[in-house]
Structure 1
Amino acid sequence: MHFTGIDVSKNKFDVCWLRDATTNKRKTKVFKNKQAGHEALAEWLLNNIKAAPENIVIILEPTGVYHESLMYLLHDKGFKVYLVNTGNAKKYAEAINLTHKTDKSDACMLASYGYAQQSNLQLWLPEAVEVRELKALLRRLDALESDYQRELNRLDSSEFSLSSERVLASLKEMIRALKSEIEKLKKDIDNHINGHPKLKNNRKLLESIPGIGSVLSRELTYLFAAKTFKNAKQVGAYSGLIPKFHESGKLKGRTTLSKTGPSRLRAKLYMAAVVAGRYNKSVMQQKETLLKRGKTMMQVIGANMRKLMQICFGVVKNQTEYQPQVT
């Protein structure tokens, strides 16, 4: 197998082919992060490595959306693509004492990391077409909702500062337009989910859980369709809900959430956990137990968020509606 690391940015990506792991011989090149650059990379790899695509391993880190189209093209052409955890790659870079951090050195580090961890890597596979479409729709909805909230904030500050009538009218018109488009997009997302039996069934199962409404069920329907989790602990880790303990010297230890993974999901999950703490029997029982132990309300809500995600994982994995388990 031949290992290649790619460090992706918005306008370009740096490539490093690890020619010989024992002598650390490398070959590097830079390409534009466009369709033509993606095609040129595939050709460059085949011409230089002189191996079949299935024998060429590509290692990347997630970089927002800038790596996605490149990954899809490389996968379609038969290359083995691996999307590695950024935290693990960073620890490896520290372990090998990578002192000069550049795009080129990051690409070479990824190639070396892939070679060293090849037995632990998990092959990346693209989502199904309907899942990819759902992802794009949810991203657009999230962007519009952020714009809507910003305009509401601007309107509030403008009214407070007695801004001009023209500015107020402009803000109100923009808010109406955003609100209308948000509602249309929500209907399109719901119709998309309902048009695919597996997505529709998973959403139905998720909404059988008290505390999970239409907003969070959209996000979780995509999450469980796009990601493969072996157990509930992995779901908690991905969502940034694993507790971390902090203690130093005389500072009394305290527990906080790791907060890795998508913050957008945690924000929606927070509100769901608050509601579940009032209406979901399993979550209510945990809440009462933790409060009796002296936990703060924020610690309780964090635990309830994790509990709720575990329940969601369970109903989707077992394909059964929610049944409260109260002792």
Structure 2
Amino acid sequence: MAEYVGIDVSKEHLDIALHEAKRVWRCSHDDDGLQALAKELASIGPELIVLEATGGFEITVLAALTVARLPVAVVNPRNVRDFAKASGRLAKTDKLDARCIAHFAAAMQPSRTEMPDETTLALEQLLARRRQLMQELVAEKNRRSTLLGPRRTQRVLDSLDGHIDWLTKEIADIDDDLRGHIERSDTWRAKDQLLRTVPGVGPGTARTLLVELPELGTLDRKTIASLAGLAPFNDDSGGKERRRSIRGGRTPVRSMLYMACVSGLRCNPVLQSLYERLVAAGKPAKLALTACMRKLLTILNAMVKAGRPWSFTAATS
């Protein structure tokens, strides 16, 4: 009988559960623990091993198991949580989480996750750090704007200004690193240049799409929109018909597409025309902008699939 494995990943340790054998054990999250785990699982020969994306802690586990030629899938924690609720599992411990992940693996059988190559992994980590720094930069600028009138203290202002300058420099340095990684890879450089031919798509959007949405150009327009969280879902039941809405997907991709569309409304004739037509038809501005995001992603997906740069004629056909 096929065996499915669930692994609950934390910084210090891993909890492993076998679905069919009903076995649960723990090992340390270090080199020795990972080697022992890979050896143990190789002797079992599981059909699939599933672990949740945990902010980067899962990368070492994925790498160790991939090197051992074991089938691994990294899944969205939200999917597992929803599965647990649907199964009536309300209690939560590391061992119970591992059991739930193993049950999820057996029931849903998600697609295997291929270990990212060196360039992709480096870009992914750099982009994650850049997002963190950008969030902190916005927060520090907001804090500075509140220091007005009698609340204005030179010591605090100097501290904020110094940190803002440091954050700005760090972001610029990471941008240089991102550029260097892309320029050293012929494949990445070609895709980056291709995406940036679209009016409104800058280096930040192109790099985010390359790293966070590697499926770009390999899927149909509906599937790629769903991955990005831009596919509208019906919410109808009985005699009620509710407005369709978007949800889920890859937040970094959706955020960058939003910024690209805000920029594109000033310089991209396809997005301008679509937005103006929807607003004139009485659609809310937010809905019109979301439609533009979906349209832009569809255009980019078709471009990468065909290997052709931006063309107004092709984008409107």
Mark the CA change 1:293 to 1:227 in structure 2 (over 3 Å): closer, same or farther.
closer
Mark the CA change 1:106 to 1:266 in structure 2 (over 3 Å): closer, same or farther.
same
Task: Please give the secondary structure, in 1, of the residue aligned with 2:243.
Answer: strand
Pick the aligned partner of 1:253 from 242, 253, 256.
Answer: 242
- In structure 2, the partner of 1:9 is 10
- In structure 2, the partner of 1:305 is 293
Task: Please give the secondary structure, in 1, of the residue aligned with 2:199.
Answer: coil
Pick the aligned partner of 1:280 from 261, 268, 285.
Answer: 268
One-letter amino acid matched to 1:206: L
One-letter amino acid matched to 1:10: K
Deviation of residue 94 (structure 1)?
A: 4.2
One-letter amino acid matched to 2:286: M
CA contact (8 A) 1:4 1:15 kept: yes
Q: How does 1:11-160 map to 2 (within 5 A)?
A: 11-18=12-19, 21=20, 25-46=21-42, 50-52=43-45, 55=46, 57-118=48-109, 121-159=110-148
CA contact (8 A) 1:281 1:326 kept: no
Task: Please give the secondary structure, in 2, of the residue aligned with 1:254.
Answer: coil
Note the alpha carbon deviations across 1:147-179, whole angstroms, 9 max, x for none.
222221222223455332122112211211221
Distance 1:156 1:85 in 2: 37
Distance 1:246 1:226 in 2: 27
- In structure 1, the partner of 2:187 is 198
Deviation of residue 287 (structure 1)?
A: 1.8
For normalisation by structure 2, the TM-score amounts to 0.88
Q: CA RMSD in A?
A: 2.7
Mark the CA change 1:73 to 1:149 in structure 2 (over 3 Å): closer, same or farther.
same
Greater strand content: 1
Say whether residues 1:241 and 2:227 are aligned partners: no
- In structure 2, the partner of 1:266 is 254
**Structure 2: where are the runs of 5+ without partners?**
none
Percent identity, aligned pairs only, is 28
Deviation of residue 142 (structure 1)?
A: 1.5
Deviation of residue 135 (structure 1)?
A: 1.0
CA contact (8 A) 2:213 2:253 kept: no
CA contact (8 A) 1:315 1:321 kept: yes
- In structure 2, the partner of 1:208 is 197
Deviation of residue 278 (structure 1)?
A: 3.4
Distance 2:306 2:216 in 1: 16
Task: Please give the secondary structure, in 1, of the residue aligned with 2:16.
Answer: strand
**Structure 1: where are the runs of 5+ without partners?**
none
Distance 1:62 1:318 in 2: 32
Deviation of residue 190 (structure 1)?
A: 1.1
CA contact (8 A) 1:159 1:168 kept: no
Distance 1:221 1:45 in 2: 33
CA contact (8 A) 1:14 1:107 kept: yes
Deviation of residue 91 (structure 1)?
A: 4.6
CA contact (8 A) 2:217 2:302 kept: no
- In structure 2, the partner of 1:169 is 158
- In structure 2, the partner of 1:326 is 316
Task: Please give the secondary structure, in 2, of the residue aligned with 1:113.
Answer: helix
Pick the aligned partner of 1:183 from 165, 172, 180.
Answer: 172
Note the alpha carbon deviations across 1:278-310, whole angstroms, 9 max, x for none.
332322232233223321111000110111111
Mark the CA change 1:186 to 1:129 in structure 2 (over 3 Å): closer, same or farther.
same
One-letter amino acid matched to 2:161: K
Mark the CA change 1:160 to 1:264 in structure 2 (over 3 Å): closer, same or farther.
farther
CA contact (8 A) 1:285 1:326 kept: no
Greater shift, 125-134 or 287-296, is seen at 287-296
Task: Please give the secondary structure, in 2, of the residue aligned with 1:45.
Answer: helix
Say whether residues 1:231 and 2:227 are aligned partners: no
CA contact (8 A) 2:261 2:293 kept: yes
CA contact (8 A) 1:244 1:255 kept: yes
For normalisation by structure 1, the TM-score amounts to 0.85
